[in-house]
Structure 1
Amino acid sequence: MSRISGVSAGYGRPRHRRREAGAVSVEMALALIGLVVVLIALTWCLGLLTAERALGEAARAAARVAARGETATATTDEARRLVPAADVGIAVVGEHVTVIVSRVVSPPGILARWGSVRLDASSVALLEHPS
């Protein structure tokens, strides 16, 4: 049997093939880790969008309550009914009431290193005058 530059006669494969045997497995594992991190980040962003939408709805509902002339406690309770951990601010300027609802949201798992995000939404309503 003769050998020809890196190829053993009879098999037709290069000699260095054994050194690369697990390379594809390692590359696939690294790619999967990256994919999982990206999916977690996308899920986090979707959660932020959902939280922002809930804050907007809470601000609108609370502004409607405040516009009817209800107390600040009733307005805050309405906002917290929709977003339990929310901070609520109420301001009356002239004939308008502004309600600001905010909340701190923290990412899950290893994304917690990114830090928390403070989301807020506001709504303005015209005060109703009793008839």
Structure 2
Amino acid sequence: MGLMSYFLDSEVVQTEKGIFISQKKYGGDILKCFKMEFCKPILTPIEQRLKLKKDGSGEFVNQTQYKQLVGNLSYLTATRPDITFGVELISRFMDAPHIDLAGDKKAKSTSGHAFDIGSGVMCWSSKK
């Protein structure tokens, strides 16, 4: 059958230097599905010192779409540990998503770590 090149929405590239796994196409599909393919890329997925609260006064968003987005992004964290904190943060608000969430006073602190080997992360953890 030859070398594996695609498995469960993950692209696999096998070279002499190693095996590389990415979800570039899957990430692009998420952007297209939620009409965000032309948005500007940023270095950090969540702005620094962002405070969220559940009792926001903003307009409610479509709860089904919000849950689909969080689920898709959760699967994407398999190859993108840099978005894990942001995805976990927004997943806390799946029961009542608003446009202008801010200032979660009941939130506990979140800490985490990531261990690099060469150019990739070998282990990571995020704990509330």
Q: TM-score range by the shorter chain?
A: under 0.3
Q: Which has the higher helix share?
A: 1
TM-score where L is the length of structure 2: 0.24
Determine which structure has more spread, i.e. the larger CA radius of gyration: 1
TM-score where L is the length of structure 1: 0.23
